[in-house]
Structure 1
Amino acid sequence: MLRPLPAAFRPCALLILLVSILLLSGCSREAIYDAMMAHERKAAGLLDAQIEVGDRTIAYLHNEYPVDGPTLVLLHGFAANKENWLRLSRELTDHYNVYAIDLPGHGASDKDLDRDYSIGAQAGYVKAILDTLDLKRVHMVGNSMGGAITAQFAATYPDRVASATLLDPAGVMTYDSELVERVKAGDNPLIVEQPGDFEKLVDFALEQKPFVPWPIYSVMEDRALADRAIHHRIFEQIEKSGYDAAFRDHLASIRAPVLIVWGRDDRVINYRNADVFEERIPNARKVILEHVGHAPMIEVPEQTARLIRDFIQDQTDR
């Protein structure tokens, strides 16, 4: 129902040149990773930033150059981070003021093992973050866990959401998936426990894997290994939320228009659960993407961005 996914890169001469220069200069893997991330953020038109929300630090990305357009908030999935939105953001920052947030317990935001990471609690954290950023009414996009949080947020704070796009959202497990069967057997492919697990996770979550140059996976694996305790804590709490009938009941309270986008080859959450979201949300429509897995914004970013732009424009034209 949730998954960590890598930042995605497009193969290009400039990127290959950058990697070559960094290798020749004797940079460490972490330094190469940081430099390449900076390159990707620049290409997406985004800047890295942090804010204090209460007594906790929250990391996020935002437009380098604000535009005269709506605000779009992006919420990643379980054990993922704001960098998962870089490829998609390339297609959006010319039209929207984009905010990609590292949710509590993830990325560069504070990681507190004693915090409540249920879907309802996380929706409350998102409200506090948007309040601190002074974002009143937004279009929201969420993937996996972030999709469940987006739905919960839209149901709980209807005046704050102009539209919601749910990409392979968690929260409804009416139809089982390969992940469910593996977790029942004691094997959770979404949590990196030992070296080699990260690439297995990517193979499991993505049907269309993007070009990712060395040493991105190795650095991301190191970080995932360091965070496995918090990942176990979050997964345990969200797993309970995922089977909560109350969450499904909350969907009927969503007033904003909702677009549901799902990859047919999603092994994490069965795409047939899109029917449940569509049936329970009053103003919803769904799109099923062929040959796509659990992360459309990484696997088919141009197509996903076009769906989001057209959906938001449809609401504006009405």
Structure 2
Amino acid sequence: MISNKINDKPILLMLHGFTANKDNWLQMSLFLNKKYRIIALDLLGHGESDSPFDADYSVEAQVKRVHLFVTKIQLAPFHILGSSMGGQIAATYAALFPKEVLSVTLFDNAGIDSPIKSDMFRDLASNRPNPLIDCTNPIEYFNYTFYKSTHIPKFLKQTHLALQAHKKRLHHKIFNDFHHNDLLPYLNRIQVPVLIIWGEKDRILDKSALDKICPLLNNVQVILLKNTGHLPMIESPKKSAVLFNHFVEQLKN
């Protein structure tokens, strides 16, 4: 079994969101890797992992795959972090495998039908194209994802959308498989402390989801980050790392 600490480093298991990959955690990890052992996965259908069209991309199916990985390498109890879809997977994992998880940290997690609809879900309800899949305008796409994306060079935005275009059919399949899955039935089964970090300006998943999430968790801390969109760990990587580290340090007391 891999110890919970290698060179006295607690283990972090990080799960990215829909259409993303493990690199979403790079900037935040720079502020954590001296203290923690970081494992960031490419979920099936994303990044460098296989992308079979006929696979099951529901949340529980992805949870089972993560559990197979954890079991295969005999990973000891770890802190699990997830962004958006990955947050829903992380929370569901903690509910289904409570003995393996030390804490849960969620960044703008999916899985909740929020009382106030986000810009994205209002667009989908109006039969507009899915901005995460069908958008061809780099400015529009990144304005959905970030509060401000001026720090990202235009050529990187164009490259990202070009790569996404090759997976458009698969992304529609993945979205249809997972986005109807409901996280609410799992929340009161989570036994470990939960930290939720949410971008106040998120246009993809509205912060009003917290009104449904928090009453079902026994031990939760919530941080709303001002002037931050859907991906706090990218827009505010240092702040996100500081908040996470403080949360973990509190668990020792």
Local SS of the residue matching 1:114 = coil
Q: Quick one: which of 185, 205, 209 aligns to 2:126?
A: 185
Aligned partner of 2:3 in structure 1 is: none
How far 1:198 moved relative to its partner? Answer: 3.8
**Secondary structure of the structure 1 residue equivalent to 2:188:** helix
Say which of 195, 200, 217 aligns to 1:264. 200
Specify the alignment match of 1:311 in structure 2: 247
Q: Is the 8 A contact 2:111 2:180 kept in 1?
A: no
Report the alpha carbon displacement of residue 214 of structure 1 after superposing the two structures with TM. 5.5
Does the alignment pair 1:165 with 2:105?
yes
Query: What is the correspondence of 1:1-318 to structure 2 with a 5 Å cutoff?
Result: 67-175=7-115, 176-186=117-127, 187-192=129-134, 196-209=136-149, 211-213=151-153, 215-241=155-181, 244=182, 247-316=183-252, 318=253
Taking only aligned residues, the RMSD between alpha carbons, in angstroms, comes to: 1.5
Find the aligned partners of 2:19 and 2:132 in 1 and give their Cα distance: 8
Return the alpha-carbon distance in structure 1 between the equivalents of residues 75 and 154 of structure 2: 37
Counterparts of 2:240 and 2:209, CA distance in 1:
19
Determine helix, strand or coil for the equivalent of 1:215.
helix
- Residue 153 of structure 1 aligns with an amino acid whose one-letter code is Y
SS of 2:228's partner is coil
- Tell whether the 8 Å contact from 1:137 to 1:160 is kept in structure 2 after alignment: yes
Please list the CA deviations of residues 191-227 of structure 1 after superposition, one character each: whole Å capped at 9, or x if unmatched.
045xx33442111110032623363223222210001
Residues of 2 paired with 1:197 and 1:158: CA distance? Answer: 42
Q: TM-score, normalised by structure 1?
A: 0.74
Deviation per residue, 1:138-159 (Å, 9 max, x gap): 1011010000001100000001
Give the TM-score, by structure 2 length.
Answer: 0.93
Q: Larger Rg: 1 or 2?
A: 1
Contact 2:101 2:192 in 1 (8 A): yes
Work out the CA distance in 2 between the residues paired with 1:236 and 1:161. Answer: 28
Q: Secondary structure at the match of 2:66?
A: helix
d(CA) in 2 for partners of 1:134 and 1:219?
37
The structure-2 alpha-carbon separation of the partners of 1:201 and 1:70, relative to structure 1 and needing over 3 Å to count, comes to same
Higher RCO, 1 vs 2 (CA within 8 Å, ≥6 residues apart): 2
Query: 1:22 maps to which residue?
Result: none
Identity %: 34
